[in-house]
Amino acid sequence: MDECESGGAPEEAEKDLEAEQAEVAVEASEAEDAVESELPSLPKRLFDVFLSPGKLMDAIAQTPAVAGALGTAAFLIAVSTLLIPPEMMAETMRQAALNAGREAPVMPEWVMNVLRYATPIIGMIAITLFTFFFAGVYWLIFSFVLGDEGRYRQYLAVGTHALFVPAIIGLALVPLKVMTEDVTMTLNLGNLLFFLPEGYLSNVFRAMDATSIWSALIIAQGAHSIDPKRSFGSAAVVTLGITLVFALISASFVP
């Protein structure tokens, strides 16, 4: 009987050791996941949205930070607008009025000075409102229509960080806009399909900017990170489809 008891003790000790090792392994795995999903600093996020969007979206899904990224993106967009000479902006507005068949009066100097500083402020307000609006669109479609998991704040954080792409690329295009004196220059698909005749179809492709498509793919990655059951491919179909719908709508307002 003593031999049975002494033989069972090592087995129990071995089982306890295996259970302890398994618990340690689980804790280590959880700690590793926590480190990987830890939200990077704001400057690092500016680079990661281009270099490592997958890891960045995983971190944002866990920690949906909004204020710093939205403020930074809006500021960059405002700076890119502020760097455009007011004379070029006034001429663009004059040409747009003439193309629409309206009279285009000459703007006095004080109006152009007001325009120079008012336009960036208006741009910051507009881009903030649009960011909140589109986050609601993505949240409604993914969470309510498609039944995915996710909170509004998560989609807002994803969309806010995706805004880094047009903000940074738009700032990089400013010198080229000034050199060509074309304020409306964008990296739109219409530049590639220049052979299309003028009309609604060409306006649709002009409304589809490469940065908006890039942002849509980042948002798709974010939707996948928020709910891993949603594949990146199916999410990209949704986000690119939304981009196309808004391009179709905006093209209908072009004269």
Residues 210 and 170: beta-carbon distance below 8 Å: no
- 36 pLDDT band, cuts 50/70/90, is very low
pLDDT tens digits, 158-172: 999 999 999 999 999
Query: 74 lies in a domain?
Result: yes
Q: How many domains does the chain have?
A: 1
Looking at the DSSP assignment, which residues form a beta bridge with residue 209? 188
- Tens-place pLDDT, residues 41-65: 999 999 999 999 999 999 999 999 9
Within a domain: residue 25?
Answer: no
Q: Model pTM?
A: 0.78
Q: 172 lies in a domain? A: yes
The answer to whether position 180 is within a domain reads: yes
Q: Enter the tokens of residue 112.
A: 């152009």
65 falls within a domain: yes
Question: Per the domain annotation, does 4 fall within a domain?
Answer: no
Q: Which amino acid is at 199?
A: G
| pLDDT reading at 1 higher than 70 | no
Please give the structure tokens belonging to residue 173.
């295009």
Return the pLDDT at 185. 77
In a domain, 21, yes or no: no
Domain range for 149 is 40-251
Which ranges constitute the DSSP H helices of the chain?
2-36, 42-51, 53-62, 67-82, 86-99, 109-139, 152-162, 164-172, 174-180, 200-207, 210-226, 232-251
**pLDDT for the residue numbered 10:** 53
Q: Is residue 28 part of a domain?
A: no
